[in-house]
Amino acid sequence: MSRHHLIILLAIAAMSVGCNRGEFGKRAEGGVISADARDDSGNNANDEVDGLNNQDSDPTSGDLNNAAPNVGGEPADRAISLYGVTHNIGVAGYRSQSGGDENVVVSALGLTQSIAIATLGADEDANAELFNIVGTTYLPEEFNGGVSSLLSQIQTAAEPGIVRAAPSVWAQSDAMFESQFLNDLYAYHELDVRLVNFNSPDSARLQINNWYRNQTGGYITEAVSPRGISTDSGLAFVDATFFSGAWEVPFDRDLTMDDVFMGRQERVLPFMERSDVLLTAQDNQKTSVILPFSNQLVMVAVLPNDGAFDAVEASMGPEFFQQIIDSSEPQFVTLRMPKVELAGRLDSSASEDLGLGAANKDGAYASIGDGLGAGAFIQRSKIAFTELGAQGADPSPPEFNDGAAGAEDSIPVVLNRPFIFGILDSGTNTLVYLGRMVR
């Protein structure tokens, strides 16, 4: 049995033998509430995996399983592909932030996990909204099992770099939860519910932000903004995904020079330069370049033609990046791109733009606990591009390709105006990050 199979089976086992509904979780020191059925080691004391059948699954396909589970009583005629799910959710998260003139960074993988967690406890109307963003309807159990397996795959694919999802669930300090929900939350995601006093929003925000500061080594210091939570909040699904990866071929620091980024706000930035053979795609609206990291991940940089940014942005759908990859060909390219840190935020107002009205309303999660107010989906994402790679890349001495030969015949691609980027796992086609730089 593969490690990926085992993750799904362990989750299903915990679901089948967990506490009955009507039993409430217990409170632990440190503002955490956990299920009664878990022992002090953090494991579900009732977990049993003996005798479970090995379900056929391709761990690189992004599918829950190839046996096509029966969903909602319909014929089992399809596998659950999480490739499309991450693209649907990433694009929806992007559009919820793209109405203004700000840069956008969305962790599609992290938002997928937050939505999966919410489906474990949401009522019928809220789940209808959540699965509308997902793009299709699954049983919450199979959706969460698939997301858990996919996260494990992406973490392996990112080695020697790091893709670390840091989801968390925060609830009002006097809330009571059904043990079944707490068991499910731990079985699929190894999470407990953390408790804060939303009646003091500033104090709650400080507590959550301090937790993320510790979890990300100081990289994410403000997961929740002042408008992210309020006294109406009772349950918050918070996410920050940390990405660290080195380019397969680093940029030469000696070629980094200042230039003007001509976005919606012009500014002088250091621009990195690299001449190399890269997969490139061009059409009448855009030029795209694919930059591999030193693992299974790639960055797809999409540079719309002058005046075409809005049209290209509007054309983004689940197949946007895959179509670029499929049409790409190796070209000798001289690429210049900003050395810059970009950040994005999804808070309560943006989550309404995401289409989460019912999922944010008071009482949407009443079936899993008492004392829960309105829900909130919050995400903070940051990513920095440097000569070595993304934030936290291995600072070992780089080995450079000799880009001088043939440089006079290279195609110049200069990311000095608004562009879109995606970071994908080339093995599963999973969208990990989606963003834009416009200023």
Q: What is the spatial distance between Cα 147 and Cα 83, in angstroms, rounded to a whole number? A: 11
Same domain for 226 and 285? Answer: no
Cα(279)–Cα(251) distance, integer angstroms = 17
Has residue 290 been placed in a domain? yes
Same domain as 304, residue 404: yes
* φ, ψ for residue 214, nearest 5 deg: -70, -40
Do 111 and 159 fall within a single domain? yes
> Alpha-carbon distance 421 to 436, whole Å?
6
Q: Is the CA virtual torsion 169, 173, 179, 180 positive or negative?
A: negative
Tokens of 133: 């963003």
pLDDT digits (tens, 9 = 90+) for 116-149: 999 998 888 888 888 988 888 888 999 999 999 8
| Cβ atoms within 10 Å, residue 118 | 23
Do 211 and 330 sit in the same domain of this protein?
no
CATH code for the domain in which residue 349 is found: 3.30.497.10
pLDDT at 352: 67
- Has residue 391 been placed in a domain? no
Please indicate, yes or no, if residue 123 is contained in any of the structural domains.
yes
pLDDT at 18: 35
Whether 223 and 352 share a structural domain: yes
Bridge-partner residues for 430, per DSSP? 425
Q: Does 216 share its domain with 140? A: yes
Residues 6+ apart with CB under 8 A from 115: 89, 130, 133, 134, 377
277-305 residues labelled b (16+ CB within 10 A) or e (exposed): ebbbbbeeebbbbbbbbbbbbbbbbbbbe
Report if residue 80 sits inside a domain: yes
CB contact at 8 A, 406 and 332: yes
Give which of 129, 130, 158, 330 is closest to 244, Cα–Cα: 158
389 assigned to some structural domain: no
Looking at the structure, tell me whether residues 288 and 318 fall in a common domain. yes
Nearest-angstrom CA–CA distance, 311 and 304: 9
pTM of the predicted model, to two decimals? Answer: 0.80
Q: What residues make up the domain containing 121?
A: 3-244+344-383
Q: Is the domain of 326 the same as that of 351?
A: no
Spell out, as residue ranges, where the chain has pLDDT lower than 70.
1-31, 34-81, 348-353, 371, 373, 391-408
**365 and 427: one domain?**
no
Residues 281, 309: one domain?
Answer: yes
Domain assignment present for residue 261? The answer is: yes
Is residue 167 a part of any domain in this protein?
yes
pLDDT, position 403: 44
Contacts of residues 352-358 at CB distance under 8 Å and 24 or more positions apart, as own/partner, are: 353/95, 353/96, 353/97, 353/99, 354/92, 354/93, 354/95, 354/96, 354/133, 355/92, 355/129, 355/132, 355/133, 356/129, 356/130, 356/133, 357/129, 358/123, 358/125, 358/126, 358/128, 358/129
pLDDT at residue 56, rounded to an integer = 35
| Whether 261 and 122 share a structural domain | no
Query: Taking the CA of residue 254 as centre, how many other CA atoms within 13 Å lie in the half-sphere pointing to its CB?
Result: 2
Classify each residue of 403-433 as buried b or exposed e, where b means 16 or more C-beta atoms within 10 Å of its C-beta. beeeeeebeebebbbbbbbbbbbebbbbbbb
Distance CA 169, CA 387 (A): 36
Residues 303 and 281 sit within 8 Å (Cβ to Cβ): no
Number of independent structural domains in the chain: 2
Rounded Cα distance between 86 and 365, Å, is: 24
pLDDT of residue 295: 87
Are 122 and 188 within one domain?
yes
Q: How far apart are CA 384 and CA 373, in angstroms?
A: 36
Cross-strand pairs, 258: 270
Q: Return the CATH number at 401.
A: 2.30.39.10
Q: Is-contact 339 415, C-beta < 8 A?
A: no
Encode pLDDT of 54-63 as tens digits.
333 333 333 4
Residue 388 lies in a domain: no
State residue 302 phi and psi, 5-degree precision. Answer: -115, 115
